[in-house]
Amino acid sequence: MSPRVGRRGSRAGVGLAERIEALDRAAAVIAPVAPESEGKAVAAVLERIDRRRALSAEHTIIGVFGATGSGKSSLVNAVVGREVTRAAVRRPTTGHPVAAVVGETGADPLLDWLGVEDRHLLDGTGAALEQAALAVPSSRRARREDPGAPGIVLLDLPDMDSVEAANRAIVEHMTGMVDVLVWVTDPQKYADAVLHQEFVRPLAGHDAVTVLVLNQIDRIREDERRPVLASLEGIARADGLTSAPVLATSATTGDGVEELRERLVQVARSRGAIAERQRADVTAAATRLRTAADPAGMAAQSSARERAALTADLAVAARVEPVATAVGASYRHRAAGKVGWPPLRWMRRFRPDPLRRLGIGQERDANRLERTSLPEPDAATRARASGGVRRFADSASAGGSDPWRSAVRRAARSREEELPDALDQAVAEADLRARSGSWWWPVLDVLQWLAVLTWVVGLGWLAVNAGLAFLGMPPLPVPMLEDLPVPVPLPTALIVLGVAVGVLLAVLGTAIAAAVGAWHRRRARRILTDRVEDVGSGLVVAEVDAELERARAADADLALAAGTAR
């Protein structure tokens, strides 16, 4: 077992420290997205790894787990070579963890952390386990590479399927704390569902630091041992333990005990189990996070099409279309004041400027903020905005897992309250040229007044003649325009011409104003839409894209932590 432990450590492409850091980062990002219990469980794993790394790396903690009566305590005594823990017929016997310790230095803080009170230091006792740990490797090469006598904490634990809840709690806690897991079973109970379903299978990822022991082998006939061992091995493989060794022992006769002891000492000597266990923990935690809230599957950022759809929805909420229409109408309104037929211009006073009516293009308020007095958005308009935000979040997170899709939706709505004001200000502060005129207004204006002058002269002429006639005085000469089909007096012609040209100019001006007004409307719509897009970018898109980026980073970190990153 130990050579495998050592080799695997060096073969893994990404260093353990790097994988732990990646898990730490991924956990920080995923915890708020995943169910609380999952985040807590992974935080606990990281905390444990952290604490373990601060404690003695010289000691390997080996936990002996199994059902009551399988012979855990007897086996620990046999491996140690003296009685450190009580074995008995009474069930259950062991109620608290008992530690046999080789290597005093650094052991106490480790045992304090484990919460083990009952400690038996083997240093200087000459116990078989101490001797095995101190033994110098026989081959010269092994001696050269030997890092020296290892420290060992061998833990006898209460039964895992105990009727005592406290015992079960201790065992569950310890499965997470030890560096090496030794599962002890016996010929009667080796196929027991509880052992496999509740304990071995969930820890199958810890294959590399697991040993399976079939104890009480003396209780079965010699010719039955091989098939029973093969059967246990088959179950172990089905549990997912693809390479954990399966040993046969008898604590009573001592069969297989030395082999078990040697394997455990070898593991401790390689000093690879701590890292191997942590590697398995990190992989399991990464898998757990992925199961709880898989950050994979979503796009790296929202698409241009999705952003355009959001802008369209927000534009409805910001009332871009009515404001743009008012901009066009306002232009026509103001143009009418300059190019309309002068005798009728006064009538437009009764119709206020449509833009003014919306409060656009006015003074700033006390906070130096321009505000529109657009009517409060109705329910349908508000629904369009929040529906747009939701649709945007949903399509941007398509393909993601449910927890992440909810997280993206939360991110999209995180600044929803700021939206109405921001949209209103975007409209209020847009440069819509609400007061500007056009160069052709004065041109038509002058022409209009010339036309007015023309008919006023004609009218005046006729009026003077009428006055003179009334007074019995000779009238002014009235030239006749003889070239026309019907001869017309010049003043009359001036009146007809002046009125006709005036009306024609008014019609022409209205037509030009309509065309230019339409251009202003389109321009206003474009400007307002751009501003609405900016608001959407800042308050919605940025939040969603940041969440998508977090998911992408977490996905990469999980792959790194699980050792599956390319």
Ligand X SMILES: Nc1nc2c(ncn2[C@@H]2O[C@H](COP(=O)(O)OP(=O)(O)OP(=O)(O)O)[C@@H](O)[C@H]2O)c(=O)[nH]1
Q: Please count the other Cβ atoms lying within 10 Å of the Cβ belonging to residue 91.
A: 11
d(CA 136, CA 123): 16
Q: Which string of x and - marks every residue 112-151 that binds Mg ion (by CB under 5 A)? A: ----------------------------------------
- CB-hemisphere CA count at 13 Å for 430? 28
For residue 489, cis peptide bond before it (omega within 30 degrees of 0): no
CB nearer ligand X, residue 7 or residue 219: 219
d(CA 252, CA 219): 10
Task: Retrieve residue 434's tokens.
Answer: 């609400």
CB nearer ligand X, residue 218 or residue 445: 218
Burial class (CB in 10 A: 0-12, 13-18, 19+), 248: buried
Count of positions on this chain that bind Mg ion (CB under 5 A): 4
Q: Please count the other Cβ atoms lying within 10 Å of the Cβ belonging to residue 85.
A: 25
Which alpha helices (H) appear in 36-177, and where do they start and end? 36-54, 72-80, 107-114, 128-134, 140-145, 165-177
Instruction: Work out whether 68 is an interface residue with ligand X (CB under 6 A).
Output: yes
Restricted to residues 391-450, the positions that interact with Mg ion (CB under 5 A) are: none
Instruction: Work out whether 219 is an interface residue with ligand X (CB under 6 A).
Output: yes
Which span sits near Mg ion by CB under 5 A: 94-102, 127-135, 452-460, 554-562? 94-102
CB nearer Mg ion, residue 159 or residue 239: 159
Among residues 99, 103, 15, the alpha carbon closest in space to that of 58 is found at 103
d(CA 21, CA 23): 5
Among 2, 56, 250, 529, binds ligand X (CB under 6 A): 250
Among 6, 71, 388, 517, binds ligand X (CB under 6 A): 71
In whole angstroms, how close is the CB of 65 to ligand X at the nearest point?
A: 10
Contact partners, residue 383, CB within 8 Å, separation at least 6 = none
Instruction: Work out whether 73 is an interface residue with ligand X (CB under 6 A).
Output: yes
Instruction: Work out whether 216 is an interface residue with ligand X (CB under 6 A).
Output: yes
Among 56, 210, 215, 397, binds ligand X (CB under 6 A): 215
CB nearer ligand X, residue 71 or residue 400: 71
Contact partners, residue 555, CB within 8 Å, separation at least 6 = 294, 295, 296
69 binds, among ligand X, Mg ion, none (CB under 5 to 8 A by kind): ligand X
Q: Please count the other Cβ atoms lying within 10 Å of the Cβ belonging to residue 374.
A: 19
In whole angstroms, how close is the CB of 261 to ligand X at the nearest point?
A: 15
Task: Give the 3-state secondary structure percentages of the chain, helix then strand then coil, rounded to 5.
Answer: 60, 5, 30
Restricted to residues 117-176, the positions that interact with ligand X (CB under 6 A) are: 158-159
Among 34, 107, 152, 251, binds ligand X (CB under 6 A): 251
Distance of CA 492 to the CA centre of its chain: 83
CB nearer Mg ion, residue 91 or residue 226: 91
Among 2, 56, 70, 93, binds Mg ion (CB under 5 A): 93
Instruction: Work out whether 94 is an interface residue with Mg ion (CB under 5 A).
Output: yes
CB nearer ligand X, residue 54 or residue 163: 163
* Residues engaged in binding ligand X (CB under 6 A): 66, 68-74, 87-89, 91-94, 158-159, 215-216, 218-219, 250-252
* Residues engaged in binding Mg ion (CB under 5 A): 72-73, 93-94
